[in-house]
């Protein structure tokens, strides 16, 4: 394990999504008045907002120096209130304004993180979806260690299903190939890299107007090797109705 004392660890939590695939009112702990749907990252699991679950996990991983949460402008106050309500406002958690794409939200947080912390090229920056509330400190630690060793790393879940490549047609999907599943992992988060590498990957993507749905895709196209740390089904991304119940089940089972 390569963790020189001087290496600092920072975290970005993109939480500025709209969560259109979740219906309002879904989830056992999601009772709230009717109105516009609550973005999924603000829904609760076992009575605790998803974002708070994430913050607690990263704060419990002792090496994390600061966390930057990217949220939509109208949500900034709500998030700051949540952070205070759950006793997490110890100066380590910062709220920044996100953007219209996940990549833009992370880019905004990264820019502020660099300005405020003076993040050195060798420091570690992890990015974690706020919509993955069941991340655990052991997986976070393994990801930090892998970034320290390889320069960049993500959490990935080995594929258990047989994976097909398809062509979309007006009548549905037609299979064009079967991809050996030992060649596949499903990308989860955290995803991270040395700060200098992550900044270069984001700068190159912005210069080329490339839009990716995760950090690894930006690192890959910048020619930076990215290691994979084993993930778990428990680290699911809350995406559709039913996922909240599943997350509550996993949470209860892990107690």
Question: Can you give the binding site for ligand C5P, defined by CB under 6 A?
Answer: 14-17, 41, 70, 98-102, 105, 129-131, 237, 239
DSSP label at residue 216? H
Q: CB-wise, 145 or 188, nearer to ligand C5P? A: 188
Q: CB-wise, 151 or 191, nearer to ligand C5P? A: 191
Q: CB-wise, 28 or 99, nearer to ligand C5P? A: 99
Decide if 109 contacts 96 (C-beta within 8 A).
yes
| SS3 at position 85 | helix
User: Distance between alpha carbon 180 and the CA centroid of its chain, in Å?
Assistant: 27
**Smallest separation (angstroms) from ligand C5P to the CB of 150:** 24
**Smallest separation (angstroms) from ligand C5P to the CB of 12:** 9
Q: CB-wise, 94 or 102, nearer to ligand C5P? A: 102
Q: CB-wise, 7 or 251, nearer to ligand C5P? A: 251
Q: Is the peptide bond before 57 cis (omega within 30 degrees of 0)?
A: no
**Smallest separation (angstroms) from ligand C5P to the CB of 51:** 9
**Smallest separation (angstroms) from ligand C5P to the CB of 133:** 10
Angstrom distances, CA of residue 134 to CA of 54, 188, 254:
7, 12, 10
Decide if 95 contacts 51 (C-beta within 8 A).
no
CA nearest 106: which of 224, 17, 37? 17
**Smallest separation (angstroms) from ligand C5P to the CB of 6:** 30
């Amino acid at each position: 394990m390569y963790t020189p004392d001087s290496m600092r660890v920072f975290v970005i939590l993109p939480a500025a999504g709209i969560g259109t695939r979740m219906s309002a009112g879904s989830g056992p702990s999601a009772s709230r008045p009717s109105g516009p749907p609550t973005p999924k990252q603000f829904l609760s699991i076992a009575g605790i907002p998803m974002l708070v679950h994430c913050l607690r996990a990263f704060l419990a991983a002792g090496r994390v120096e600061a966390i930057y949460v990217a949220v939509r402008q109208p949500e900034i106050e709500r998030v700051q209130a949540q952070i205070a309500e759950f006793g997490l406002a110890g100066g380590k958690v910062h709220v920044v304004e996100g953007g219209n794409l996940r990549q833009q939200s992370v880019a905004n947080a990264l820019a502020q993180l660099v300005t405020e912390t003076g993040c050195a090229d060798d420091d570690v920056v992890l990015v974690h979806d706020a919509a993955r509330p069941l991340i655990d400190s052991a997986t976070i630690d393994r990801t930090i260690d892998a970034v320290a060793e390889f320069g960049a790393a993500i959490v990935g879940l080995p594929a258990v299903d047989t994976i097909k490549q398809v062509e979309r047609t007006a009548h549905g999907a037609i299979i064009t190939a079967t991809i050996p599943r030992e060649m596949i992992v499903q990308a989860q988060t955290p995803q991270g890299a040395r700060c200098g590498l992550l900044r270069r990957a984001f700068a190159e993507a912005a210069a080329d107007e490339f839009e990716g749905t995760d950090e690894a895709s930006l690192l890959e196209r910048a020619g930076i090797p990215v290691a994979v740390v084993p993930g778990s089904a428990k680290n699911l991304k809350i995406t559709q109705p039913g996922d909240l119940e599943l997350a509550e089940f996993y949470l209860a089972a892990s107690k």
